[in-house]
């Protein structure tokens, strides 16, 4: 799928309608049949008043006249009014069955549409690059996949399918009305173009107002989502009052936007009610005049009024369809923005080489956006297969960016250097194969609302409890879990809120160890554990990852000092590289940091010293 796939809202709607078209088609058929049966009874009532109860000659011809004669004619029916009542009831009952089938199929079609739309949206979102998520708020994405989908469903299920019924009702009503009185039909029909014209005028206005209101709702959803997921941080810093004020202010903006929409819609519907009322008044008054003058029988007048009451609803509904089309158009456009976002795709010649080979960064330069200074500047180094490689650097030096580029969470543009594994450019490696071979543990790991064992084994289809516990022992987590009342069945809660920072990090480490990938990255993932636990985990990792390429990112010298190679980053550039002894003897930044940390100064001071040293270098 590329960004040109859906060139119009119509093409995307047809894509989402796959699987529900037959239900919508059946719904329309039964809607038309129910409308047809609804239009029969007024004629029967008119015939009863004029020819059965009155003395007017029967106005029907053809098959209808033959059926009346078969029943004994108007004189016979005068003594059997129950028969006419029975026919009316039967026709009404058949119409009711058709309406039931229309609503059943329409509801089935609508829910099928929603299911398919959400499934396809979610499937597409899953394929979008990491950078896309950085540009869109989670709350806004959720709002598009829920509120906007519901808006589209309401339009298709309640308005668009009803439009065919409306057109049929208008056509048949005007046809039957014209058979009764052409002048009165013209009187009734003259208001239809007026209602359509002002509805079209309101259409463009409503669209702009609804888009603004919809966007403000997305912002409100984003604030709510951020507060719910970050509730511990908010409580810890006492920011409840500030967040409450921020939410209330955005809620006022959102409410104001919808109040403006409501005000506009009130004017729209009031205008529609006025014209509908004028139309009914004109028909009743003009019809009464024609009846008094003898140009129309009483029965025909009653039938015409009935048809006109049926005509008012479709005309008003036509205006509603046009106004709802404005809202649906905005929602479809917002969904189209997601569906037209370029997903990740592999090079046609992408391969699946062994990842147990040397990793080489060659003259890599990278910046997230044009507005942000480059994070990496001409970075070159090699990580040999099976070795432990340490990366040391201050905040913002580009340590994590290197790993995101290696995992292709961020794409390295052409002309910005090259990253290879075993001589193969990673852009020529299938993403699924590359990411499946790289285990990455972040400083802030994400745990799902599941049990601890399920989180550790989340990447495995089937895994024994023995393997889960083995991974937990390597991560120095097993003894801790044994102290839990529910053990590995402990429910960790959303984002792992029931665990400490160190426990979450160790659970994520166990998760990566269980994957047993040829490349493992630990991005400052031991920052929340004490030095003694840090040492135990590193020792167990060395014992159990003989043939694995391990990349350690840390601010602690003790975490990195046993690595085969250590690279010091400063300002996005490689300042020095070598093993612990070599770097210490060089007397550079690494030496100064090592002396600071071994002297017992805290990490904050060490970080400031490192930044100062990097600036001086």
User: Nearest CA to 159 among 394, 274, 356, 331?
Assistant: 331
pLDDT at 495: 62
pLDDT in the model for residue 615: 37
pLDDT of residue 494: 64
In the chain, what is the straight-line distance between the N-terminal and C-terminal CA atoms, in Å? 47
Whole-Å CA distances, 377 to 242, 362, 367, 426, 611: 39, 11, 9, 19, 17
DSSP line for 116-169: HHHHHHHHHHHTS-HHHHHHS-HHHHHHIIIIIHHHHHHIIIIIIHHHHHHHHH
- As given in the structure block, the two tokens for residue 401 are 């960016």
How many residues are there in the chain? 617
| C-alpha–C-alpha distance, residues 506 and 519, integer Å | 18
- CB distance 560 to 584 below 8 Å: no
Alpha carbons 74 and 80: distance in angstroms, whole number? 10
Residue 360 pLDDT more than 90?
yes
The predicted model gives 526-545 an average pLDDT of 80
pLDDT at 371: 64
Range with the poorest average pLDDT among 66-70, 233-237, 244-248, 395-399: 66-70
Between β-strands 573-578 and 565-570, what pairing exists: parallel, antiparallel or unpaired? antiparallel
Q: Model confidence over 2-12: pLDDT tens digits?
A: 444 677 777 88
pLDDT at 210 over 80: no
Q: Which of 361, 360, 359 is CA-nearest to residue 376? A: 361
3-state secondary structure 167-228: HHHHHHHHHHHHHHCHHHHHHHHCHHHHHHHHHHHHHHHHHHHHHHHHHHHHHHHHHHHHHH
Residues in a beta bridge with 558: none
Locate 300 and state its tokens.
């025909």
Give the position of tokens 């998520």: 133
DSSP 399-415: HHHHHHHHTTSSPPPTT
For range 308-315, the mean pLDDT: 73
- Which helix (H) or strand (E) is 439 found in, with range? strand 438-441
pTM, two decimals, is: 0.67
Q: What is the mean pLDDT of residues 248-260?
A: 87
Domains of the chain by residue range: 9-339
Q: Which CATH architecture has domain 9-339?
A: Up-down Bundle (1.20)
Query: For position 614, what pLDDT does the model report?
Result: 40
Tokens of residue 518, six digits: 């040829």
Calpha distance 27→20 (Å, rounded) = 11
Indicate whether 568 pLDDT > 80. yes
- Check residue 364 and give its pLDDT: 93
Question: What is the rounded distance in angstroms from the CA atom of residue 525 to the CA atom of residue 396?
Answer: 17
Which pLDDT belongs to residue 482? 87
């Amino acid at each position: 799928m590329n960004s040109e796939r859906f060139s119009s809202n119509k093409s995307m709607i047809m894509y989402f309608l796959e699987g529900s078209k037959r239900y919508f088609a059946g719904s329309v058929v039964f809607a038309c049949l129910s409308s047809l049966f609804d239009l029969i009874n007024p004629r029967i009532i008119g015939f009863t008043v004029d020819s059965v109860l009155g003395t007017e000659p029967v106005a029907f011809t053809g098959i209808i006249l033959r059926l009346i004669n078969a029943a004994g004619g108007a004189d016979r029916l005068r003594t059997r009014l129950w028969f006419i009542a029975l026919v009316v009831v039967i026709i009404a009952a058949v119409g009711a069955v058709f309406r039931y089938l229309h609503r059943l199929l329409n509801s089935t079609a609508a829910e099928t549409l929603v299911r398919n739309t959400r499934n396809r949206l979610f499937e597409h979102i899953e394929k979008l690059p990491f950078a896309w998520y950085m540009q869109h708020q989670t709350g806004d994405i959720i709002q598009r996949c829920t509120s906007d989908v519901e808006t589209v469903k309401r339009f298709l299920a309640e308005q668009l399918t009803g439009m065919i019924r409306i057109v049929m009702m208008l056509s048949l009503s005007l046809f039957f009305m014209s058979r009764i009185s052409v002048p009165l039909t013209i009187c009734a029909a003259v208001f239809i173009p007026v209602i359509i014209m002002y509805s079209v005028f309101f259409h463009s206005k409503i669209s702009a107002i609804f888009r603004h209101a919809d966007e403000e709702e997305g912002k409100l959803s984003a604030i709510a989502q951020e507060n719910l997921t970050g509730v511990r941080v908010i409580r810890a810093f006492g920011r409840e009052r500030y967040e409450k004020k921020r939410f209330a202010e955005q809620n006022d903006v959102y409410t104001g936007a919808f109040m403006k929409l409501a005000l506009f819609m009130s004017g729209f519907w009031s205008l529609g009610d006025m014209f509908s009322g004028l139309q009914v008044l004109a028909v009743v008054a003009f019809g009464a005049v024609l009846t008094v003058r003898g140009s129309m029988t009483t029965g025909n007048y009653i039938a015409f009024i009935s048809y006109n009451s049926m005509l008012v609803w479709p005309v008003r509904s036509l205006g509603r369809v046009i106004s709802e089309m404005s809202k649906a158009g905005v929602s479809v456009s917002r969904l189209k923005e997601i569906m037209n976002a370029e997903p990740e795709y592999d090079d046609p010649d992408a391969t699946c080489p062994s990842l147990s080979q040397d990793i080489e960064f060659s003259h890599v330069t990278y910046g997230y956006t044009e507005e942000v200074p480059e994070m990496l500047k001409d970075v070159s180094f090699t990580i040999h297969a099976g070795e432990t490689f340490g990366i040391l650097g201050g905040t913002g030096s580009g340590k994590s960016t290197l790993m995101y580029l290696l995992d292709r969470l961020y794409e390295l543009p052409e002309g910005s250097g090259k990253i290879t594994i075993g001589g193969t450019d990673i852009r020529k490696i299938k993403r699924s194969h590359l990411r499946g071979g790289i285990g990455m543990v972040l400083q802030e790991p994400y745990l799902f609302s599941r049990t601890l064992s399920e989180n550790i084994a989340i990447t495995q289809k089937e895994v024994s409890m023995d393997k889960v516990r083995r991974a937990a022992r390597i991560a120095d987590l097993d003894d801790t879990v044994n102290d839990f009342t529910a053990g590995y069945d402990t429910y960790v809660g959303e984002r792992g809120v029931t665990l400490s920072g160190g426990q979450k990090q160790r659970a994520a480490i166990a998760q990566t160890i269980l994957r047993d990938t040829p490349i493992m990255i630990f991005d400052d993932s031991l920052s929340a554990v004490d030095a003694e636990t840090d040492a135990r985990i590193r020792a167990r990792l060395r014992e159990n990852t003989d043939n694995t390429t391990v990349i350690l990112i840390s601010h602690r010298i003790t975490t990195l000092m046993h690595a085969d190679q250590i690279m010091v980053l400063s300002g996005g550039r490689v300042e020095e590289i070598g093993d612990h002894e070599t770097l210490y003897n060089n007397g550079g930044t690494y030496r100064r940091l090592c002396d600071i940390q071994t002297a017992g100064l805290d990490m904050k001071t060490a970080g400031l010293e490192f930044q100062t040293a990097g600036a001086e270098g």
